[in-house]
Structure 1
Amino acid sequence: MHTEYSESDKSFWLKVVGDHMTSPSGLSVPEGYFIFIETSLSPQNGDLVIAKMLQNNEIIFKKYVIDAGRVYLKPLNPLYHAIEATKDIQVIGVVREARTLLKV
């Protein structure tokens, strides 16, 4: 897919799997959407990010939240809980765009 947001040659698209980022109100990035990740950006409070859990190599998609000097990765779906971003979690990149493909 083409995007105007690419800032490096290390950016890429991923397809969202699961409902952690599906919200009943406000911002929602449901399963099946495609997200564009820019790896050259440092996350800021409120950004959506892709991160890797180093202990099991799981890739996660969450909202980057700074609260009282601590960093959390928070799902948009209120049925799931936030996790504290420790040294065992590596942020890979910041999500710059989300889109879906409509079936014809």
Structure 2
Amino acid sequence: GLNSPLEVSLEDYVRPTAEKIYTTKEERVEVPWNMGIMKRIETTLPFSSGYTSWEKDLHLIASKKINVNSLITHCFPLGDWSKAFSLVTKGQAIKTLFIA
């Protein structure tokens, strides 16, 4: 049987040219490449970004077009980084801000 949502999405009943976006808390994910060999698959890693993304984000924040306070779930002193990362890894925090 199939053992992951990734494998399910690569099954034949999914449109051959469907765009698939995956997110996971796992450090490593096994990809069954043979299941998608006859399909055109675009992979998006939503947590990756380039320097231009940061520039755009900073501009939106500076111009007050987005309220970042509503995006932050936890604030920690820099010395509590281990606790912050632990909460994120467990899925108990989404956006964490470190305060120096």
Higher relative contact order (CA 8 A, sep 6+): 1
User: What TM bracket, shorter-length normalisation?
Assistant: under 0.3
Higher fraction of strand: 1
Higher fraction of helix: 2
TM-score for both structures, normalised by structure 2: 0.20
